[in-house]
Amino acid sequence: MSTTLKEPQNTPALPREIIRGSMSARKKARGNRGGRSLLAKGEPMLWLTGGGLVVAVVMIIALLTLVIIQGAVTFWPKPVVQFTLKDNTIYMGEVTRDDTYKPEPGVLNSLPADVQADIAANEGWAHRELVRTGNFDLTNTHFHWVEDFNSQGQTLPKWATVIERNSWGRFYGMPKSFLIDGKVVADTPQAAWAEYIKYHDEVRERWHERRGLEKHDIGRESRKVDHARLEMKSALLEHGKDSAEYREAQANYDAIEAQVNVAYAKIREEINALNAENDRYQLVMETAQGQEKQLGLAEIVRAYPANQLGLGGKISLYLSRWWEFLSDEPREANSEGGVFPAIFGTVAMTLIMSVLVVPFGVLASLYLREYAKAGPMISAVRIAINNLAGVPSIVFGVFGLGFFCYVVGGTIDEVFFKASLPNPTFGTGGLLWAALTLALLTLPVVIVSTEEALAAVPGSMREGSYGCGASKWQTIRRIVLPRAMPGVMTGAILAMARGAGEVAPLMLVGAVKLAPELPIDGVYPFLHAQRSFMHLGFHVYDLGFQSQNAEAAKPMVFTTTLLLICIVAFLNLFAIWLRARLRRKFVSSQF
C-alpha cells in the first residue's frame, strides 16, 4: 500500500519566475561545485599585480645588465686587425662593433655579379665592421667601415701597436726606429720597443713634474698678483686715486709683481729644462699605409703591442685604464682619460645638498605636524608642497640661475667683491648655487617623508613625556625626533638619490664641460663654493650628445653611467646603514 505526500493546504504557491530562478541558480551551483569563481577569489588581480612587479624588475635588471656589461668591457684591450680591401687600401685598427645593413642600389649595382648574388641570397643584407683606425692627425678620421664584400682578408700583425696620446687620440702603427738626440739607436721593431720601455717611465715622470710646475707653481704666483691687484683696485674705489692707501697698495702691487716675475723666470727655466730633456727621445712609428710619424715619449700616455699581450698583460692594462679613469683628468674632449674632477664634483655637490635640505625639511615638517593647527592655510601649504614635487627640474634650474646666481650672488659681489667686477665671483654658476637649487628641488621629498615619520611615533610617548613634566620642545627633541630619525633618513636617501642624478638644473647653475680645478684645494679659504664644477651626469650628456668623436665616446658613456650608479648606490648604502643603526637604537619605535 503506497502513501502519497501532499503539500500543506495552507502553503501559498510561489510565482513561476521565482521557481525558474531558483532552479537556474541550483544548476550553476552544481556546475561550479567545489569552489567559487576566479573573479570572486581575486586570482586575476593577484596575477595582474604580480605580473606588473615582474615586468618592472625585469626592466630594471635588463637596464643594469646592459650598463654593467657595456661599461665593464670598455677598457678591455682588443686585438689590432689589418684589413686589405680589394682596391689594395689597407686599414689597421681595433674592431669596435659590426653591423648588417642593406647597401644602396647604386653601390649594389657596381659590385661583381657573384657578390650581388650572395647579397641577394641573404635577402639584400650585407655585413660590415667598424674599425677604429685612429691617426686623426694624418687622416682626419677616427673610424672606417669595412664591408665583407669589399675585403680581401684580414691579418693580425705581430708588432701592431696601440699608442694612447695626450692629444689627437689613439695612434695605430708599428715601431720602426727609436731616436735619441735625433740619432737612430734602434732600427727594428723589437729593438725600438725595448728602447721605449727603457725610457718611457722616466720621461713621463718629468712630464708630470712639468705639469705640476705649470698648474700649481705658476698658479700660486698668479694668485699673488691677482690678490695685490684687487687690493689696489679696492683702495682706489674706497679712498680715491690720490689717497695714501691707494699709493701704498700700488707700491705693494709693484713689489709683488717684481717678485712674481723673478719666480716666473725660475719656473720657466725648470720647465724648459724638463722639456729639452724629454724632447731628446722620439719613437718613430710606421702606419699600415707606410706613413712615418715621430712621437715624443712625453706625449705617449701608454703604448702596447696589442697582438702580443697575454692574459696577464691584458688584465694589467685593463686595471691601469680603470685607475686612470678614476684618478686622472679628462683629455681628448672628455672621450679619453679620467673623470676624477667629475667624481669629486658629484660627491661634493650631493653631500652639500643633503646637508642643506635635511635641516630645512625637518624644521618645516615639525611645524606642520607638531605646531600648526589644521586649517585652510596649512592645507594650502601641503598642496603647494605636493605640487612642487611635480614641477619639471629645468624650472628649478631657471629659478636657481635667476635668484641664487643673479640676485643673491650679484648682491654678494656688489657688497664683498666689488673690486672684482665686472668679472663675477658669486654672481655666476657655482657649486654652492647648484647645491641650493637641488636642495630646493628635493625639499618636498624630505618634508613628506619626515611628516609621515613624525605621525608614526605613538601618541602615548608624547603623553608620557608631558606627564613627566617635559615641555613640548623637550618632548620633540628627546622623544619624537630620535624615534622619527629612521624615517627622516629615508627622506634623505630618496633626496640624495634624486639629486645626484639630476642634470638639467646643473646645466644652468654651475656644471661645465671641463673644470680640472677642484672646488677644494690648499689655498685659503680651502672650500671655493663659487667655482664651477664637473658632474658625472652632465659628463654623460656631454659625451653622448656633444662629442666630436661620437663612436669613441660611446663606450665611455656606459662606463661613466656605471660609475654614477655605483656612487649613488654607495651613498645610499651608507645612509641605509646609518638608518639601520638608528632603528636598532630605538627598537620600540619601528614602524
Cα–Cα distance for residue pair 192/175, rounded to 1 Å: 6
Kindly report the backbone phi and psi dihedral angles of residue 481, in degrees, each rounded to the nearest multiple of 5, phi listed first: -60, -45
State residue 546's pLDDT score.
Answer: 78
Rg of the chain on CA atoms, in Å: 36
SS (H, E, C) 238-283: HHCCCCHHHHHHHHHHHHHHHHHHHHHHHHHHHHHHHHHHHCCEEE
> Does 20 have pLDDT greater than 80?
no
> Does 466 have pLDDT greater than 60?
yes
Write down the CATH superfamily of domain 345-589.
Answer: MetI-like (1.10.3720.10)
Tens of pLDDT, residues 554-568: 888 889 999 988 888
> Does 128 have pLDDT greater than 60?
yes
Q: Is 94 helix (H, G, I), strand (E, B) or coil?
A: strand
Residue 90 vs residues 150, 290, 523, 535: alpha-carbon distances, Å:
12, 10, 54, 41
What is the crossing angle of helices 536-545 and 550-585, to 10°?
160
Picking from 191-200, 309-318, 389-398, which range would have the lowest pLDDT averaged per residue? 389-398
State residue 4's pLDDT score.
Answer: 46
Cα–Cα distance for residue pair 552/566, rounded to 1 Å: 23
> Does 214 have pLDDT greater than 70?
yes
Kindly report the backbone phi and psi dihedral angles of residue 162, in degrees, each rounded to the nearest multiple of 5, phi listed first: -100, 125
Residue 498 vs residues 244, 289, 349, 487, 517: alpha-carbon distances, Å:
55, 51, 12, 17, 26
Burial of 504 (0-12, 13-18, 19+ CB in 10 A): middle
State residue 2's pLDDT score.
Answer: 44
Cα–Cα distance for residue pair 259/263, rounded to 1 Å: 6
> Does 43 have pLDDT greater than 80?
no
Which band of pLDDT confidence, cut at 50, 70 and 90, is reported for residue 391?
Answer: confident
State residue 489's pLDDT score.
Answer: 85
Hey, which of 5-9, 283-287, 516-520 has the most confident mean pLDDT?
283-287
- Across the range 374-379, mean pLDDT stands at 86
List the chain domain ranges.
81-156, 175-301, 345-589
Which one has a higher pLDDT value, 52 or 578? 52
Do 103 and 138 meet the contact criterion of CB atoms below 8 Å apart?
A: no
Tens of pLDDT, residues 337-360: 889 999 999 989 998 998 999 899
Cell of 438: 637641488
Do 548 and 333 meet the contact criterion of CB atoms below 8 Å apart?
A: yes
> Does 45 have pLDDT greater than 80?
no
Which band of pLDDT confidence, cut at 50, 70 and 90, is reported for residue 7?
Answer: very low
Bridge partners (DSSP) of residue 155 are 82
499: left (phi over 0), alpha (psi -120 to 50) or beta: alpha
State residue 1's pLDDT score.
Answer: 42
Sheet holding 90-101, edge to edge: 143-147, 126-132, 90-101, 81-85, 151-155
- Across the range 6-22, mean pLDDT stands at 51
Please compute, for residue 73, the number of CA atoms within 13 A of its CA located in the half-sphere on the CB side: 8
> Does 233 have pLDDT greater than 50?
yes
State residue 294's pLDDT score.
Answer: 93
CA 346 to chain centre: 8
Which one has a higher pLDDT value, 258 or 517? 258
Which band of pLDDT confidence, cut at 50, 70 and 90, is reported for residue 246?
Answer: confident
Cα–Cα distance for residue pair 483/117, rounded to 1 Å: 77
Which one has a higher pLDDT value, 561 or 526? 561
> Does 245 have pLDDT greater than 50?
yes
State residue 36's pLDDT score.
Answer: 56
Encode 96-122: b = buried (16+ Cβ within 10 Å), e = exposed.
eeeeeeebeeeebeebeeebbeebeee
State residue 587's pLDDT score.
Answer: 54
Which band of pLDDT confidence, cut at 50, 70 and 90, is reported for residue 159?
Answer: very high
State residue 415's pLDDT score.
Answer: 87
- Across the range 310-323, mean pLDDT stands at 93
pTM score: 0.82
